Structure formats: C-alpha cells, structure tokens
C-alpha cells in the first residue's frame, strides 16, 4: 500500500481516503461521493475495509459484525473508487503500541466502551501512514469519533485534512448504520425513536439539559425494546456538557435496541 501511495504522490495525484469497516451502505456511498468531489476527476479515491479488532471492547460484537466484501467491492465499483484497501490483518502478533487521548475520549462512547477510541485512533493512524492521504472523510454519524480523529491529526501533526460527511437516514429517520442489519423488523421500526428524540430536542431550545434528558429518556423508552445508554447535550467543539440546550449545541445519544447498540446525534 505504501509503495502504491508513493506512486500516486510522485504523480502529484490528490489522494482521498474513506476508512470503513465494510458492510457498506448508502451512508458510506455518500462519504465516497464527498471523497470523489474532493479528489476531482484525476485524483485517487481509496476506500479501506478492515474490521478492526482493536476497537471492539466486546468480543461478541466483533464476532457478529456484518461482513460483505464482495458486495462492498461492487458498491466501490459503482462509485468509481480507484482502490480498495482490504488488508487481512494490520497488526503484528506482539503489537504493543496504541494511541491514547485524554480529554475527548473520557465521556460518552469512551466511557461506555473502554479502549474503543484507542483502537480507533491506532488503526486510523496506521491507515494514514499506509495510504498517505491528503484528505480523509469521516461520517458525522460517529460525531465523537470524528472529533477525536481531528484532535489526533492536530496534536500529532498528521499531514491530512479531515472532512465530514452528513448522516444519511432512512425515510423514518433511522440513521443508516451497518448495525441496522442486526435488528429484527420490529426493532428496526423502534430504532427510529432516536431521530425523533433529536427532533424533539431541536424543538426544545432554551430548556435545561437535565430536564430535557429526562423527557427524552421517557420518550425513547416508551419503545419496548429500546433502553438508553446515554443522552448528552454538548458543546460541538469540545464535547463538554452544557447546562442549557442552545442552538449550535449538539445532542448525542446511545441506546440498546434489543442487544444491538445504536448511536445517533444531531446539531441543535
Ligand atoms: O467508523 C468506522 O467505521 C471505524 O471506526 C473506522 C474509522 C473505519 C476505524 O476502524
């Protein structure tokens, strides 16, 4: 991969990377389109596909994570992706170095999934070192992840610019995610309550976060199979909790629908 990246670099071709764990869907397709626009017609769009064991704090979750390499390659062909980088393994057996971030990762997903962001940052750093992209595209759906990656790039001087692609949603508002494939029909319908909660928050600007969180939890848990992990109103730049939900803040939430964990977020 590094040799190929050097060929592109010597030809002064702009390289744009979309890192994924596969099971590609319409959300990924829209990120690939962001990448293509940035790469322009003569640039290179690379999609990496690698289910990164280091970011799964739950081994069952890793085991059941959907995998569909040939369908993924087909979607990449449809989008005229120039290269798919799908390594079988990225780690030495005795790998002993991981990246740690000590601020943005101490809350929300970082708190619920210990070690998750160390795994994400480590694999993304490796992908940046292998593909040497000028730009890399991440989904706004994983807002905390995107914020952490931007901080990593800033603090470690990676020569790459991070672009965000908007969250794609089903007609009923459910954020498109590879994990949706694991939901049963009724669970899939109940999952849409997360986006309803975001909408409710947008209509409640000026409310105290603590009151709004209580109301949202009640709204979400009216669905029989949905249980809230967290709901937080934060400052968009530093993910610090805010006391009052105001325009420009963001609501981030996570819930279990049956045994499937879904996350979503929205700008207020
Ligand atoms: O968002 C994902 O799919 C993964 O966390 C990423 C960024 C590809 C790293 O494995």
Q: Whose CA is nearest to atom 2 of ligand 1?
A: 20
* N-term to C-term CA, the chain: 41
Residue 122's pLDDT is what?
Answer: 98
Residue 213's pLDDT is what?
Answer: 98
pLDDT in tens, 192-235: 999 999 999 999 999 999 999 999 999 999 999 999 999 999 99
110 CB burial (10 A radius; 0-12, 13-18, 19+): buried
Q: Which helix (H) or strand (E) holds 120?
A: helix 116-131
pLDDT in tens, 80-136: 999 999 999 999 999 999 999 999 999 999 999 999 999 999 999 999 999 999 999
Q: Ligand 1, closest atom to CA 120?
A: 9
Paired with 15 in beta bridges are 44
Residue 81's pLDDT is what?
Answer: 98
Q: Ligand 1, closest atom to CA 149?
A: 7
Q: How many CB atoms lie within 10 A of CB 213?
A: 22
For ligand 1, pick from 145, 146, 164, 262 the residue to mutate: most ligand atoms within 8 Å of CB. Answer: 145
| Residue 165 phi, psi (nearest 5) | -110, 140
Residue 244's pLDDT is what?
Answer: 98
Q: Whose CA is nearest to atom 8 of ligand 1?
A: 20
Cα 156 to Cα 101, 153, 172: the distances in Å are: 11, 5, 40
Ligand 1 center–CA 185 separation, angstroms: 26
Catalytic residue among 8, 15, 23, 28: 28
Residue 95's pLDDT is what?
Answer: 97
Structure tokens at 33: 């389109």
Residue 160's pLDDT is what?
Answer: 98
What's the pLDDT band for 165 if we cut at 50, 70, 90? Answer: very high
pTM, full prediction? 0.97
| Residue 16 phi, psi (nearest 5) | -125, 125
Give percent of the chain with pLDDT exceeding 90: 99
pLDDT mean across residues, the chain: 97
Residues 266 and 236 sit within 8 Å (Cβ to Cβ): no
Ligand 1 center–CA 245 separation, angstroms: 29
Which residue ranges make up each domain of the chain? Answer: 2-165, 178-267
Structure tokens at 206: 């000026």
**Neighbouring residues of 17: CB distance < 8 A, sequence distance ≥ 6:** 35, 46, 47, 48, 127, 128, 131, 133, 135, 136, 137, 160
Structure tokens at 234: 């934060």
Q: What gap in Å lies between CA 109 and CA 51, rounded to an integer?
A: 18
| Residue ranges lining ligand 1, Cβ < 6 Å | 19-21, 52, 55, 120, 123-124, 142, 145
**Neighbouring residues of 44: CB distance < 8 A, sequence distance ≥ 6:** 8, 13, 14, 15, 16, 82, 83
Structure tokens at 84: 């798919």
Cα 162 to Cα 31, 99, 151, 152: the distances in Å are: 12, 18, 10, 11
Ligand 1 center–CA 21 separation, angstroms: 6
For ligand 1, pick from 18, 20, 122 the residue to mutate: most ligand atoms within 8 Å of CB. Answer: 20
Q: Return the CATH architecture of domain 178-267.
A: 2-Layer Sandwich (3.30)
Q: Which CATH code of 3.40.50.300, 3.50.50.60, 3.40.50.620, 3.40.640.10 fits the domain covering 2-165?
A: 3.40.50.620
Residues 192 and 173 sit within 8 Å (Cβ to Cβ): yes
Residue 73's pLDDT is what?
Answer: 98
Q: Residue range 2-29: average pLDDT?
A: 98
Residue 12's pLDDT is what?
Answer: 96
Q: Where are the alpha helices (DSSP H) in 140-240?
A: 143-156, 185-190, 193-202, 209-221
Ligand 1 center–CA 248 separation, angstroms: 26
Residue 133's pLDDT is what?
Answer: 98
**Neighbouring residues of 93: CB distance < 8 A, sequence distance ≥ 6:** none
> What strand order describes the sheet that includes 15-20?
83-85, 44-49, 15-20, 135-139, 161-165
Residue 226's pLDDT is what?
Answer: 98
Q: Whose CA is nearest to atom 3 of ligand 1?
A: 20
């Amino acid at each position: 991969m590094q040799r190929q990246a050097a060929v592109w670099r010597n030809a002064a071709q702009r390289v744009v990377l979309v890192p994924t764990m596969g099971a590609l869907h319409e959300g990924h397709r829209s990120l690939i389109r962001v990448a293509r626009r940035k790469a322009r017609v003569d640039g290179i769009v690379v999609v990496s596909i690698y289910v990164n064991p280091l970011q799964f704090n739950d081994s069952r979750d890793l085991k059941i994570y959907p995998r569909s390499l040939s369908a993924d390659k087909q979607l990449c062909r449809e989008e005229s992706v120039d290269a798919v980088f799908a390594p079988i393994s990225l780690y030495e057996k005795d790998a002993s170095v991981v990246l740690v971030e000590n601020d943005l990762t101490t809350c929300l997903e970082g708190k619920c999934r210990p070690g998750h962001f160390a795994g994400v940052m480590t694999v993304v750093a490796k992908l940046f070192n292998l593909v040497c992209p000028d730009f890399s595209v991440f989904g706004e759906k994983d807002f905390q992840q995107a914020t952490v990656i931007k901080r990593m790039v800033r603090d470690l001087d990676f020569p790459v610019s991070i672009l965000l692609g908007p969250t794609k949603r089903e007609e009923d508002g459910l954020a498109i995610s590879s994990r949706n494939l694991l939901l049963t029909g009724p669970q899939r319908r109940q999952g849409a309550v997360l986006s309803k909660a975001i909408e409710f928050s947008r209509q409640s600007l000026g409310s105290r976060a603590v009151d709004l969180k209580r109301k949202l939890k009640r709204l979400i848990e009216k669905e029989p199979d949905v249980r809230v992990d967290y709901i937080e109103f934060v400052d968009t730049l530093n993910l610090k909790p805010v006391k009052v939900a105001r325009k420009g803040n963001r609501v981030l939430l996570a819930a279990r629908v049956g045994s499937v964990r879904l996350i979503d977020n929205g700008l207020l």
